[in-house]
Amino acid sequence: MSKHNFTIHHASLIVSDTEQSLLFYRDVLGMEQTERPNLPFPGAWLQIGAQQIHLLELDNPDPTTGRPAHGGRDRHVAMHIDSVDALREDLERTGTAYTLSISGRKALFCRDRDGNALEFIERP
């Protein structure tokens, strides 16, 4: 065990339009929107198991274009899922581009509408 017994509580992603981003995170990926305090900028909090994804509608200091085609070669958030094949079907149905992991694991990478890279790894 590490000295401080770290666990990840949430990952924050900058988005340009919260409502449009929710169409992907909530409606395509199936993440559950949860209560968010009244903050001085738009956004949404999504529950993923014991952790959360926080969408922050703020000016993005990072480039959203020119990123690597494969999200595994970029900053990304990785999450476990039950079925990569079921997620592939959802992504294909909505025309969302993805790449499969080159590591040999049953995993895929995709990006949201703002270029944030996401990895989904099938639970063993």
The CATH number given to whatever domain includes residue 113 is: 3.10.180.10
- 23-65 residue pLDDT tens: 999 999 999 999 999 999 999 999 999 999 999 999 999 888 8
pLDDT of 63 reads 86
Distance of CA 7 to the CA centre of its chain: 18
pLDDT of 97 reads 96
Structural domain boundaries enclosing 47:
10-59+68-122
pLDDT surpassing 70 at residue 1:
no
pLDDT of 84 reads 97
Q: Measured between alpha carbons, how far is residue 18 from residues 52, 55, 59, 65, 112 in Å?
A: 16, 7, 12, 19, 12
pLDDT of 65 reads 86
Helix (H) or strand (E) holding 18: helix 18-22
Residue 1 lies in a domain: no
- 74-96 residue pLDDT tens: 999 999 999 999 999 999 999 99
Residue 2 lies in a domain: no
Residue 48 lies in a domain: yes
Residue 41 lies in a domain: yes
pLDDT of 118 reads 98
